[in-house]
Amino acid sequence: MTATPPAPDVAQLPAIGIDIGGTKVAGGVVAPDGTITDTARRATPGKSVSATEDAIAAVVDELAERHDGPLVGVGVGAAGWFDRTGDTVLFSPHLAWRNQSLRKDLADRLQRPLWVGNDADAAAWAEYRYGAARGSSLMLMITLGTGIGGGIVIDGRLQRGAHGVAGEWGHMRVVPDGRLCACGNRGCWEQYASGNALGHTAREVAQSSPAAAADLLDRVGGDAARITGEVVAQAAADGDPLAVELLCEVGTWLGQGIADMAAILDPDVVVIGGGVSVLGETILAPARDRLERALPGRGFRPGPRVVVAELGAQAGLVGAADLARQAVCDGVG
């Protein structure tokens, strides 16, 4: 009589992670230790719901076909607001989803255990599990890119909020009646401490004082409208004094926002990810300085550590895969 082989321990199985951006659907097979063993990608057809789902399914199928052995499930992270359950995309800024039942649609197509949620939540989870926030009791993730997003992990649990939209740090109001934000409010934090904010401030200076912004203008053929955060960052790396000053200003605003969040949540670590985080200490040094001076109760209480994310652009993919694995282990996938 042949013995039946034991069922695999799902906690030790790899999962597929999917990270959906404005231009690409990136996927990978992720081992339980966070290692990515295979990758695939497709272009994101952002204006079509069905075509985007086709791209997700194509990436999952390609990875599954190449993988030798069982996969525990699929995790999908995307920019946007999800409901509390993760079943429905309430709104996505770069994709066609509006009150879209994404989880059900994908589950029907993929026929695999599935986790679906916000990409910044997935990145926060990855940094908690495998990156800069390992072992923390309360971590905050701040993703600095064109805007500001983030996530929260408390006592080993991802916090999505009562309605599923926690962690939208970028829309804290830091300047009453300040710059108009795409969300419809004025003075939001991401208007002062993001990649877009860096470019916006640089364009204002170039238009009001071209002599001071001569180096930046030279880089864009004299057209101030073409100055972006990336242009400023490169100029700063090359030693342009104005660019360095502008980066310091963004870092100072970053530190002020962290101080405000620390007053409410008291995290032990704040992880800075996203595209702007590659600037490292150029941004983080002024942020830490401002945090030290603005933290309520400073001198009588500890503040959070502020560190750069360790997993880079792969964090969302890794976190989504592990959240799918966790969901199956918890019996909710």
Please say if the pLDDT value at position 269 is more than 70: yes
Same domain, 150 and 257: yes
* The two three-digit tokens of residue 313, written as one number: 């652009």
Write out the DSSP string of 235-255.
Answer: HHHTT-HHHHHHHHHHHHHHH
**What is the distance, to the nearest Å, from the Cα of residue 123 to the centroid of all Cα atoms in its chain?**
6
Say how far apart CA 33 and CA 151 lie, in whole Å.
Answer: 21
**Structure confidence at residue 102 (pLDDT):** 84
**Structure confidence at residue 3 (pLDDT):** 47
**DSSP 8-class letter at 48:** -
Same domain, 283 and 182: yes
Say how far apart CA 116 and CA 118 lie, in whole Å.
Answer: 7
116 bridge partner residues: 76
Please say if the pLDDT value at position 331 is more than 80: no
> Taking the model in full, what pTM does it have?
0.90
* The two three-digit tokens of residue 104, written as one number: 């059900």
Mean pLDDT in residue range 32-50: 89
Say how far apart CA 77 and CA 83 lie, in whole Å.
Answer: 13
Q: How confident is the model at residue 126 (pLDDT cuts 50, 70, 90)?
A: very high
Please say if the pLDDT value at position 233 is more than 80: yes
Same domain, 100 and 167: no
117 bridge partner residues: 77
The predicted-structure confidence for 180-221, as pLDDT tens digits, reads as follows 998 889 999 999 999 999 999 999 999 999 999 999 999 999
In the chain, DSSP finds a helix count (H) and a strand count (E) of 9, 13
Share of the chain above pLDDT 70, in %: 96
Share of the chain above pLDDT 90, in %: 70
**Structure confidence at residue 8 (pLDDT):** 63
Same domain, 212 and 143: yes
- Between 278 and 260, where is the model more confident? 260
Write out the DSSP string of 98-115.
Answer: EEE-HHHHHHHHH-S-EE
∠79-92-195 over CA atoms, to 5°? 55
Same domain, 287 and 167: yes
Would you say residue 238 lies in a domain?
yes
Say how far apart CA 75 and CA 22 lie, in whole Å.
Answer: 18
Would you say residue 3 lies in a domain?
no
CA nearest neighbour of 120 among 326, 315, 292: 315
Helix, coil or strand: residue 133:
coil
Say how far apart CA 141 and CA 169 lie, in whole Å.
Answer: 10
State the average pLDDT for the chain. 91
Same domain, 101 and 176: no
Say how far apart CA 204 and CA 142 lie, in whole Å.
Answer: 26
Please say if the pLDDT value at position 7 is more than 90: no
The predicted-structure confidence for 281-290, as pLDDT tens digits, reads as follows 999 999 999 9
Q: For the sheet containing 81-82, what is the strand order?
A: 81-82, 89-91, 98-100
Q: How confident is the model at residue 123 (pLDDT cuts 50, 70, 90)?
A: very high
Beta strand 114-118 with 305-308 is unpaired
The single-letter code of the amino acid at 313 is A
The CATH number of the domain holding residue 95 is 3.30.420.40
Would you say residue 320 lies in a domain?
yes
Counted domains in the chain: 2
Q: How confident is the model at residue 333 (pLDDT cuts 50, 70, 90)?
A: low
**Structure confidence at residue 308 (pLDDT):** 95
Say how far apart CA 45 and CA 229 lie, in whole Å.
Answer: 26
Would you say residue 93 lies in a domain?
yes
Same domain, 144 and 274: yes
Would you say residue 5 lies in a domain?
no
Buried b (16+ CB within 10 A) or exposed e, 39-49: bbbbebbbeeb
Would you say residue 4 lies in a domain?
no
Helix, coil or strand: residue 232:
helix
Same domain, 181 and 268: yes
Domain range spanning residue 46?
10-131+313-329
Please say if the pLDDT value at position 332 is more than 70: no
Same domain, 151 and 251: yes
Would you say residue 211 lies in a domain?
yes
Same domain, 124 and 261: no
Same domain, 284 and 318: no
Please say if the pLDDT value at position 313 is more than 60: yes
Helix, coil or strand: residue 25:
strand
Same domain, 106 and 177: no
The predicted-structure confidence for 138-197, as pLDDT tens digits, reads as follows 999 999 988 899 999 999 999 999 988 899 999 999 999 999 998 889 999 999 999 999
**Structure confidence at residue 84 (pLDDT):** 83
CA nearest neighbour of 169 among 267, 242, 86, 240: 267
The predicted-structure confidence for 52-84, as pLDDT tens digits, reads as follows 889 999 999 999 999 999 999 999 998 888 888
Q: How confident is the model at residue 1 (pLDDT cuts 50, 70, 90)?
A: very low
Would you say residue 64 lies in a domain?
yes
